[in-house]
Amino acid sequence: MAKKQVTIVDIAKELNISPSTVSRALKNHPDISKKTVKLVQECAKRLNYQPNIMALNLRLGKNNTIAVIVPEIVHYFFSSIVKGVEEVAFDEGFNVMLFRSKESYERELKITNSLINARVAGVLASLSKETDKYEHFQKILDNNIQLVFYDRICIGIITDRVVVDDYAGAMTAVEHLIHTGCKRIAFYCSPTHLEISKNRRNGYLDALRKHKLPVEKELMFVCDTREQAMELTPKVLAMDNPPDAFFAINDHTATGILYAIKQAGLRVPEDISICGFSGGDLALACDPMLTTVEQHGYEVGKTAAKLLIDKIKGVTHGQFTNRIVKTKLMVRGTTRKV
C-alpha cells in the first residue's frame, strides 16, 4: 500500500555513502568526484527518487509557489490573466495556486490568511468589489510575502501594480463614437467606488468635453450586466431625447444593449451605435460583431507575474513599479464607418 517515498537516505544506504554526499552529487556539486556523481544519479533514477520539495523549502526557508486571487474564474478577462500568470510561472519554475474571492471581502480575508500559513513566495491580487479595508494585504507584506496588485489595485498599500489603461481605452472608444457621428452617448457603468469605473468614466467625460459635447447626467447609468442592460435599455430608448450611442463598461452589458435595441426594431449601427469593453469571443458572436476595447488580460497576467517573480528573486526594479498595459480599440460592426 503506502509505498514509502524514496529519500536521499535510501540512496545513501544503497551506495554505502553518506546522505550529504548524495545531496551534493544530486546537484552536481563541484567537490564531488565524477564517479560518485554518476553512481548517485544512476541510483536515483533506478530507485525513482523524487526530491521532497516540502523538506527542501522548509530547510531553505523558500517556496516556489505563488498565489493568484481572482474575483471570478469564469470570466474572459480574469481567465486570460490567469493564463498569463501560469505561463510565466511555469517557465520560471513556480507553481500557481488559484483562489476565487467571489467578490467577497470575507472570503478574501480567509484566502490571505491561508496564504500566510502556506508561506507562499508571492501573491497576485485584484480586489473584490466589496473590499474597502486593506489590513489583510498589509499583513501579507508584514509576513515577508511579495505582493503585486493587478487591475483592481489597492491604493492604500505601497507595492507594485499592473493596470489596464482604462482611462485612455474609454477615451479612445468614446472618441471613435464621436468621430462616427454620434452626439448623445449613453454610458453604462459599474458602481463608481471602483477605480476602473472612475477611470473609464473620466475617459468618457473627457472625450465628451474635448469634442465640446454636453455632459448629461441623465445619460449615465449604473448598469454592468447583460440582464440589467436588457431591462434598462428599453426605458432609455423611450426617453424624450434618446441616445444615439451606448458605451458599456463590459461586453456582457453591451450584448444586452444590442439585444434590447434590436427588440425595439432599431438598427445597429445605422440608428444606434454600441461600443463595449473587454474583448474576447463574445464580441465576435454578436451580430453585428461588437466594437469593443480589448484589455489584453494575457499581457496583464504575464507582466504581473514577471514583476512578482523578479521581486521574489530579489531583482529590484527601483522601489515600486507601476505598469500600464495598453488597451486596443477593436472596431467592428456595431459602430459606423467614418
Residue from 2, 48, 61, 212 in contact with DNA (CB under 7 A)? 61
Give Cα separations from 291 to 12, 18, 134, 170, 247 (angstroms).
65, 67, 36, 12, 10
Site string for a second copy, 123-162 (x = CB under 8 A): ----------------x--xxx------------------
Output 24 or 119, the one with its CB closest to a second copy: 119
CB of 39 to DNA, least distance (A): 9
Cα-atom radius of gyration of the chain, to the nearest Å? 26
CB of 2 to DNA, least distance (A): 11
Residue from 146, 190, 233, 255 in contact with a second copy (CB under 8 A)? 255
Site for a second copy in 30-89 (CB under 8 A): 48, 50-55, 57-58, 63, 65, 73-76, 79-80, 82-83, 86-87
Residue 20 touches which member of a second copy, DNA, none, C-beta under 5-8 Å by kind: DNA
Output 185 or 230, the one with its CB closest to a second copy: 230
Output 8 or 186, the one with its CB closest to DNA: 8
Instruction: Return the sign of the alpha-carbon dihedral for residues 247, 127, 154, 62.
Output: negative
- 47 forms beta bridges with none
CB of 140 to a second copy, least distance (A): 11
CB of 63 to DNA, least distance (A): 12
Tally the residues of the chain.
338
Question: Taking CB under 8 A as the rule, does residue 241 contact a second copy?
Answer: no
Give Cα separations from 207 to 13, 165, 210, 244 (angstroms).
75, 15, 5, 16
Strands of the sheet with 291-294, listed across from one edge: 220-222, 185-189, 245-248, 273-278, 291-294, 328-330
Using DSSP bridges, classify how beta strands 122-125 and 185-189 pair: parallel, antiparallel or unpaired: unpaired
Give the distance, in angstroms, between the CA of residue 153 and the centroid of all CA atoms in the same chain. 10
Residue 35 touches which member of a second copy, DNA, none, C-beta under 5-8 Å by kind: DNA
Residue by residue, DSSP assigns 99-114 as EE-TT-HHHHHHHHHH
Output 98 or 266, the one with its CB closest to a second copy: 98
- 148 forms beta bridges with 124, 160
Question: Taking CB under 8 A as the rule, does residue 263 contact a second copy?
Answer: no
DSSP state of 4: P
Residue from 17, 26, 109, 116 in contact with a second copy (CB under 8 A)? 116
CB of 41 to DNA, least distance (A): 12
Helix residue ranges per DSSP H, the chain: 8-15, 19-26, 34-47, 53-60, 76-91, 105-118, 135-142, 166-179, 195-210, 226-237, 251-263, 281-285, 297-313
CB of 90 to DNA, least distance (A): 21
Residues lying near DNA in the complex (CB under 7 A) are found at 4-5, 7-9, 16-21, 23-27, 31-33, 35-36, 49, 51-52, 55-56, 58-61
